[in-house]
C-alpha cells in the first residue's frame, strides 16, 4: 500500500536515458545542534549547488541543495537558525497588543531576518536520493488576505533563496483584496527587486480557492506549487516535489509541514510517518502510520507516504493535470473544504497524493483566522463542505450530514449553490465511487452508514416490529424462529428508521405510525435512537414538540406514539446488530 518507491521513483521514464544528478547531500541537524552548525559554518566553506550543471549518474558529486541563507549575514540575529526568539521584558505589552494582527507573535516576526537560516530537518536517507536534471519548472503561487508584512516577505525570500533558479519559473502573489495599506503601497516597490515575482490583485474578495485559481490561470510554469503566505521553505524543498510530479504526472506531492511556533517563531521539526486523513464530518487531521504498516512495507523515513487527504495549503501539481481535473470547484467560498474536494477528486479520478519527507516547509499554525469572513465563518465552511459531500460522497454523505449537519440536509434557508457542473465533471472524468475510495485509499476509516440493523425487538412485549404487506401501519408480532424480510429494519446516520426505501413516519394527526417513501431531507422522518447492544433506548420522534416515543401495544399487535417515559419497557427497542461508531 505504501510504496517503497526506490525502484519506481528513479527509473528513467522515457526511452531516452536521462542523466541524473545528486539531489542534495544532506547533513541532517537535529534542532539541538544549531550551535554546532553555527560553528561549522563559520569555518569550512560550503559549496552551493550549481544546479544547471549536468552530471552523469556515475559521478558521485557531493552537491549541496541551494541555500542562499547558509551563511547568514547576521549569525546573532533574533530567531536566526530557526531558534526561539524572546520578547524583551519591556516589549511584552507591545508584543501582546500586536498578536491579533496575525494571531501569532507579529512583534517577534518583525525582529527576525526575512532570510534567516533554519535547521535542515530532512531525514538522513534523503542524501541518497537522486533527481533528474531536466525537471519541469514551477510557478509558486501564494494567495493572501491581509497577511502580516514580515511573514509574507519571509515566505517569498525562503522560496527565492532555497529554490534552484532553473526550476523556479516565477512567484505569483495573489492579493485577495487585502485591506492593509502596506500591502497596497509597499509591495510592488519591495518585490520589484525580484524579477521572478509577479503581483496579481483581485478586485473583490474571493477567498483562497478562487484566488489560487486566479494565480493558476496566469501561471507560466509546467507545475503549480501552492503555498500559504506564512511559511518558510527548507533547504532542498522543491526538487523532491518536482521529481515526484515529473515521474508521475497524476501524482500530487506535498511537503512535510513543519511548525513555526506562533509564540516564539522557532522552527520545530515534526514527527515522521504522518499522513493526512479526515474524520467525520470531513474534518482534516494527521495520523501516524502504525509500526506494523511501516515494517510490513519496509519503509524508511524518507519514503513517500500516501495520503487519503492533503492538508490543503502546500502542494505541487502538474498544471495540465490540475486543469484536466477541473481545478477546484470554483463555487467554494473563502476558506475550507477545498482540500477535501481536491483530495477526493484526485484519488477517485485516477491520481494520487503523497507526502514527500525529503521536502520540508514550515508553517505558522494560528489559533484564529486573522481576516474576516464576508459571511459568517461557520456558514461558509458548512456550505463548502455540503457542496463537496453532495458531489463526491455518494451514499456516504449521510455520514457527513449525520455528524452535526442535519440542518444542512433540510436546506431551509441554506443555498449551497448549483452543482450541475461539478456533477457533470465527475461523470465526464469517469471517476470511481466513494466506496471505492474508502476501500482502497482509506481502509482504516470505518464508515458504516447504518448504525443499527436487523429485527427490532420490543423489550416490554418481547416481540419484533413488522412492516405490514397490505397496510402502511407498523405491526408487532411474535418473534419467529427465522427472520422475516419485512422484520428487517435499519437506523442510519441521518436518523432514518427504515425498511428498504420506506421510512417509519409518525402520522400527521393522531398517534399512529406508518411507512412512507424515504426522503433524507424531511425532518419528520428522523428518529433518535441512542443505544448500544446492552443498553436499549427509546425511539423518539424528533420532530414532535413534546418528545414522543414509539410504544408497543401489549395486546393487539399495534404500535403507537406516546409521551416518553424513561422506565416504560414497552417504549424500549433493540436492533439485532449495532455497528461500532
Listed in sequence order, the residues at least 6 apart from 296 whose beta carbon sits closer than 8 Å to its beta carbon are: none
Report which of 81, 75, 230 is spatially closest to residue 150, judged by C-alpha positions.
230
User: Residue 309 Cβ, how far from ligand LR7 at the closest point, in Å?
Assistant: 10
Burial bucket for residue 119 (CB in 10 Å: 0-12, 13-18, 19+): buried
Residue 138 belongs to what H/E stretch? strand 138-144
The C-alpha atoms of residue 198 and residue 224 are separated, in whole angstroms, by: 15
Residues within window 338-397 making contact with ligand LR7, judged by CB under 6 A: 338-339, 363, 369, 371
Closer residue to Mn ion (CB): 37 or 274: 274
The C-alpha atoms of residue 520 and residue 407 are separated, in whole angstroms, by: 11
Residue with cell 514550515: 362
Residue 315 in grid coordinates? 502542494
Residue with cell 522515457: 14
Tell me the per-residue interface mask from 228 to 267 with Mn ion, x by CB under 5 A, - otherwise: x---------------------------------------
Tell me the per-residue interface mask from 191 to 230 with Mn ion, x by CB under 5 A, - otherwise: -------------------------------------x--
Residue 452 sits at φ, ψ, to 5 deg, of -150, 150
Residue nearest to Mn ion (CB): 228
Residue 325 site contact among Mn ion, ligand LR7, none (CB < 5 to 8 Å, cut-off depends on kind): none
Burial bucket for residue 296 (CB in 10 Å: 0-12, 13-18, 19+): exposed
User: Residue 247 Cβ, how far from ligand LR7 at the closest point, in Å?
Assistant: 24
Which span sits near ligand LR7 by CB under 6 A: 28-36, 41-49, 260-268, 331-339?
331-339
- With H, G, I as helix, E, B as strand and everything else as coil, classify residue 241: helix
User: Residue 334 Cβ, how far from ligand LR7 at the closest point, in Å?
Assistant: 5
Listed in sequence order, the residues at least 6 apart from 13 whose beta carbon sits closer than 8 Å to its beta carbon are: 246, 247
The correct pick among 208, 325, 385, 549 for binding ligand LR7 (CB under 6 A) is: 208
The C-alpha atoms of residue 487 and residue 504 are separated, in whole angstroms, by: 13
Closer residue to ligand LR7 (CB): 212 or 463: 212
Closer residue to ligand LR7 (CB): 100 or 440: 100
Residues within window 240-259 making contact with ligand LR7, judged by CB under 6 A: 257
The C-alpha atoms of residue 3 and residue 165 are separated, in whole angstroms, by: 30
Exposure class string for 20-39: b at 16+ Cβ within 10 A, else e: bbbbbbbeebebeebeebbe
> Judging by DSSP bridges, how do beta strands 537-538 and 572-578 pair with one another?
antiparallel
Closer residue to ligand LR7 (CB): 20 or 214: 214
The C-alpha atoms of residue 327 and residue 144 are separated, in whole angstroms, by: 19
Closer residue to ligand LR7 (CB): 120 or 338: 338
Angle at 550 between CA 547 and CA 554, to 5 degrees: 135
- With H, G, I as helix, E, B as strand and everything else as coil, classify residue 265: coil
The C-alpha atoms of residue 271 and residue 147 are separated, in whole angstroms, by: 28
User: Residue 479 Cβ, how far from Mn ion at the closest point, in Å?
Assistant: 57
Closer residue to ligand LR7 (CB): 145 or 349: 145
The answer to whether residue 382 forms part of the interface with Mn ion (CB under 5 A) is no
The correct pick among 113, 281, 312, 351 for binding ligand LR7 (CB under 6 A) is: 312
Q: How many residues bind Mn ion (CB under 5 A)?
A: 1
The answer to whether residue 145 forms part of the interface with ligand LR7 (CB under 6 A) is yes
The correct pick among 67, 120, 176, 243 for binding ligand LR7 (CB under 6 A) is: 176
Residue 211 site contact among ligand LR7, Mn ion, none (CB < 5 to 8 Å, cut-off depends on kind): ligand LR7
The answer to whether residue 318 forms part of the interface with ligand LR7 (CB under 6 A) is no
Which residues in this chain contact ligand LR7 in the complex, by CB under 6 A? 143-145, 147, 176, 207-208, 211, 228-229, 257, 284, 311-314, 334-336, 338-339, 363, 369, 371
The residues that touch Mn ion, with contacts defined as CB under 5 A, are: 228
Amino acid at each position: 500500500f505504501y510504496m517503497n518507491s526506490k525502484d519506481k521513483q528513479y527509473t528513467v521514464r522515457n526511452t531516452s536515458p536521462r542523466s541524473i544528478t545528486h539531489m542534495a547531500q544532506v547533513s541532517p541537524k537535529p534542532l539541538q545542534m544549531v550551535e554546532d552548525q553555527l560553528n561549522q559554518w563559520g569555518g569550512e566553506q560550503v559549496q552551493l549547488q550549481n544546479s544547471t550543471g549536468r552530471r552523469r549518474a556515475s559521478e558521485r558529486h557531493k552537491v549541496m541543495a541551494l541555500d542562499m541563507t547558509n551563511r547568514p549575514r547576521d549569525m546573532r540575529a533574533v530567531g536566526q537558525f530557526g531558534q526561539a526568539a524572546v520578547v524583551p521584558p519591556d516589549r511584552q505589552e507591545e508584543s501582546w497588543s500586536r498578536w491579533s494582527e496575525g494571531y501569532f507573535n507579529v512583534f517577534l516576526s518583525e525582529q527576525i531576518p526575512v532570510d534567516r537560516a533554519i535547521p535542515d530537518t530532512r531525514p538522513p536517507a534523503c542524501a541518497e536520493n537522486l533527481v533528474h536534471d531536466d525537471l519541469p519548472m514551477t510557478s509558486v503561487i501564494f494567495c493572501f488576505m491581509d497577511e502580516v508584512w514580515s511573514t509574507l516577505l519571509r515566505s517569498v525570500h525562503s522560496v527565492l533563496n532555497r529554490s534552484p533558479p532553473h526550476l523556479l519559473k516565477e512567484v505569483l502573489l495573489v492579493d485577495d483584496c487585502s485591506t492593509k495599506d502596506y500591502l497596497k503601497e509597499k509591495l510592488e516597490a519591495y518585490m520589484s527587486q525580484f524579477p521572478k515575482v509577479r503581483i496579481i490583485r483581485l478586485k473583490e474578495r474571493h477567498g483562497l480557492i478562487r484566488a489560487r485559481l486566479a494565480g493558476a490561470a496566469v501561471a507560466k510554469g509546467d507545475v503549480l506549487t501552492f503555498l500559504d503566505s506564512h511559511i518558510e521553505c527548507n533547504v532542498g524543498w522543491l526538487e523532491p516535489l518536482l521529481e515526484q510530479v515529473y515521474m508521475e504526472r497524476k501524482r500530487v506531492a506535498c511537503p512535510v509541514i513543519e511548525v513555526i511556533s506562533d509564540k516564539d517563531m522557532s522552527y520545530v521539526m515534526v514527527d515522521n510517518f504522518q499522513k493526512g486523513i479526515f474524520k467525520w464530518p470531513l474534518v482534516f487531521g494527521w495520523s501516524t502510520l502504525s509500526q506494523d504498516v511501516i515494517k510490513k512495507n519496509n519503509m524508511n523515513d524518507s519514503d513517500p507516504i500516501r495520503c487519503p487527504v492533503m492538508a490543503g495549503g502546500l502542494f505541487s501539481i502538474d498544471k495540465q493535470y490540475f486543469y484536466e481535473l477541473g481545478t477546484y470547484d470554483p463555487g467554494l467560498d473563502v476558506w475550507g473544504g477545498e482540500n477535501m474536494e481536491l483530495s477526493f477528486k484526485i484519488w477517485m479520478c485516477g491520481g494520487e497524493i503523497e507526502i514527500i519527507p525529503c521536502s520540508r516547509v514550515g508553517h505558522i499554525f494560528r489559533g484564529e483566522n486573522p481576516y474576516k469572513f464576508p459571511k459568517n465563518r461557520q456558514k461558509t465552511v458548512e456550505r463548502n463542505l455540503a457542496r463537496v459531500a453532495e458531489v463526491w460522497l455518494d451514499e456516504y454523505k449521510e455520514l457527513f450530514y449525520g455528524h452535526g449537519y442535519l440542518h444542512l440536509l433540510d436546506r431551509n434557508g441554506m443555498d449551497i449553490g448549483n452543482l450541475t457542473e461539478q456533477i457533470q465533471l465527475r461523470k465526464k472524468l469517469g471517476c470511481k465511487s466513494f466506496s471505492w475510495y474508502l476501500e482502497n485509499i482509506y481502509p482504516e476509516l470505518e464508515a458504516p452508514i447504518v448504525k443499527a440493523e436487523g429485527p427490532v425487538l420490543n423489550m416490554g412485549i418481547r416481540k419484533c416490529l413488522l412492516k405490514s404487506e397490505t397496510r402502511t401501519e407498523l405491526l408487532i408480532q411474535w418473534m419467529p424462529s427465522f427472520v422475516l424480510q419485512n422484520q428487517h429494519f435499519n437506523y442510519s446516520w441521518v436518523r432514518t428508521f427504515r425498511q428498504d426505501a420506506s421510512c417509519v413516519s409518525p402520522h400527521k394527526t393522531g398517534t399512529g405510525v406508518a411507512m412512507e417513501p424515504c426522503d433524507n431531507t424531511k425532518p419528520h422522518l428522523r428518529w433518535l435512537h441512542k443505544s448500544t447492544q446492552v443498553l436499549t433506548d427509546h425511539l423518539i420522534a424528533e420532530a414532535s414538540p413534546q418528545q414522543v416515543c414509539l410504544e408497543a401495544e401489549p395486546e393487539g399487535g399495534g404500535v403507537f406514539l406516546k409521551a416518553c417515559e424513561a422506565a416504560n419497557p414497552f417504549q424500549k427497542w433493540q436492533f439485532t446488530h449495532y455497528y461500532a461508531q
